[in-house]
């Protein structure tokens, strides 16, 4: 039976790229760390939305699949044995004295009634809790041919696939599935698209069938999707298409959830931080897409730097005698030889 009480130096809330890099840096600083996320696997939006999509703007990697980037970040942090608490949302934050952290003790509670006691918190929750926008006509087939994300491209190999949407995700999935699926049809309610023009041009030049000014009217099939009826806006006519999979890429809604009640300074659902990535609340830092400050640029590469800044400043908060600069990683004999303040805690899953 897994324990419900965990004590670490730093708790990282959010297991996206910034959170995973924060876990590495906490370990490099000799700090024990727990990484918490409401999603069931590490990677955040990358794992949920575009695990197979190539990412081109990570320094030193000309191109890397989202899935591979997440795998590399997990591997980078692994020598320091971070504890992952996944599939469980953080709902509460309280302060109380702790034998290890004195009056700086912070206690996080989760929806599953787990408790994490720590000295500092780094919030790397991306855009917060996000949920896909539903496809009302197909909700009854969710998990039976209707999906909102494509975890693995190979599972749709040889199928007739209909993608609904006009944004980047819809066009990215269409382009990625075109060489694998038996057929790909993209349906959008407008003639214009929100996706990047370069990707639109690539899809238009491919074998993907693009149907505009149409909406999904009905999804048919008993155990599994068999066909989809779409309605033409200009005359209301119904067209039937034989497909086995519908990918509804209609965007998603996001909110900060319980974080919004913690007394943080917010700017349009983002957490305001200073140059130390401090939220202004003692011991609470933030990094990645969730942060707001003048000149903020929301890129994965920027989030990595913010995560390192947050962890190093949190380290000096925990120990005012510690140096802000952590030293160069090349000075360590091996990654796993980096010093630790205490033994790693068991995983909570």
Q: Which of 163, 217, 168, 162 lies closest to 193, judged by CA?
A: 168
- Which residues 6+ apart lie within 8 Å of 256 measured at CB? 125, 128, 129, 266, 269, 271, 290
Burial 9-47 (b: 16+ CB within 10 A, else e): bbbbbbbbbbbbbbbbbbbbbbbbbbbbbbbebbbbbbb
323 is in an annotated binding site: no
Contact (CB, 8 A) for 20 and 70: yes
The answer to whether 261 is annotated as binding is no
Cα separation, 69 vs 300, in Å, equals 11
- CA-based nearest residue to 275, from 302, 304, 310: 310
Q: Is 90 annotated as a binding residue?
A: yes
- Is 130 a known ligand-binding residue? yes
Q: Is residue 15 a contact partner of residue 84, using CB atoms and an 8 Å limit?
A: yes
Q: Which long-range contacts (CB under 8 A, 24 or more apart) does 316-321 make?
A: 317/104, 317/119, 317/120, 317/282, 317/283, 318/9, 318/10, 318/31, 318/101, 318/104, 318/119, 318/120
Burial classification of residue 177, based on how many CB atoms lie within 10 Å of its CB (0-12 exposed, 13-18 middle, 19 or more buried)? buried
Query: Cα–Cα distance between 126 and 254 in angstroms, integer?
Result: 10
Annotated ligand binding at 335? The verdict is no
Asked whether residue 37 is marked as a ligand-binding residue, the answer is yes
Residue 289 among known ligand-binding residues: yes
- Residue 45, annotated as binding a ligand: yes
Strands 146-147 and 245-248, by their bridges, are parallel
45, 236, 233: which is closest to 126 by C-alpha?
Answer: 45
Q: Which of 219, 212, 214, 209 has the alpha carbon at shortest distance from 242?
A: 219
DSSP character string of 246-305? EEE---EEEE-GGGGGS---EETTEEE--TT-B-SSTTEEE-GGGEE-TT----HHHHHH
Q: Looking up tokens 């510690």, which residue turns up? A: 322
Which residues sit in the known binding site? Answer: 18, 37, 45, 50, 90, 130, 289, 330
Which residues sit in the known binding site for FAD? Answer: 18, 37, 45, 50, 90, 130, 289, 330
């Amino acid at each position: 039976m897994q324990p419900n009480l965990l004590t670490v130096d730093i708790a990282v809330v959010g297991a996206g790229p910034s959170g995973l890099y924060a876990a590495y840096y906490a370990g490099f600083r000799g700090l024990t760390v727990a990484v918490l996320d409401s999603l069931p696997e590490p990677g955040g939006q990358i794992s949920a939305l575009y695990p197979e999509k190539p990412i081109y703007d990570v320094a030193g990697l000309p191109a890397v699949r989202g899935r591979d980037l997440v795998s590399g970040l997990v591997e980078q942090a692994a020598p320091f044995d971070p504890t992952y608490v996944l599939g469980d949302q953080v709902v509460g934050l309280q302060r109380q004295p702790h034998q290890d952290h004195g009056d700086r003790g912070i206690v996080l509670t989760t929806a599953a009634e787990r408790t994490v006691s720590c000295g500092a918190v780094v919030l790397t929750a991306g855009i917060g809790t996000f949920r896909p926008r539903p496809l009302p006509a197909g909700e009854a087939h969710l998990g039976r041919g209707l999906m909102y994300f494509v975890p693995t491209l190979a599972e749709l190999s040889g199928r007739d696939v209909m993608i609904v949407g006009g944004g980047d995700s819809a066009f990215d999935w269409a382009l990625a599935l075109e060489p694998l699926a038996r057929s790909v049809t993209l349906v959008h309610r407008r003639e214009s698209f929100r996706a990047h023009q370069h990707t639109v041009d690539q899809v238009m030049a491919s074998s993907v069938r693009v149907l505009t000014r149409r909406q999904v009217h009905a999804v048919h099939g008993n155990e599994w999707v068999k066909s989809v009826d779409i309605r033409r806006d200009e005359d209301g006519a119904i067209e039937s298409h034989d497909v086995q999979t519908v990918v509804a890429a209609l965007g998603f809604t996001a909110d900060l959830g319980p974080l919004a009640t913690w007394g943080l300074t917010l700017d349009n659902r983002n957490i305001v931080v200073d140059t130390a990535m401090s939220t202004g609340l003692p011991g609470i830092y933030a990094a990645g897409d969730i942060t707001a400050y003048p000149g903020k640029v929301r890129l994965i590469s920027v989030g990595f730097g913010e995560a390192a800044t947050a962890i190093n400043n949190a380290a000096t908060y925990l120990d005012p005698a510690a140096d802000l600069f952590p030293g160069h990683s090349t000075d360590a004999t091996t990654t796993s030889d980096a010093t630790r303040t205490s033994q790693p805690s068991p995983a909570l899953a």
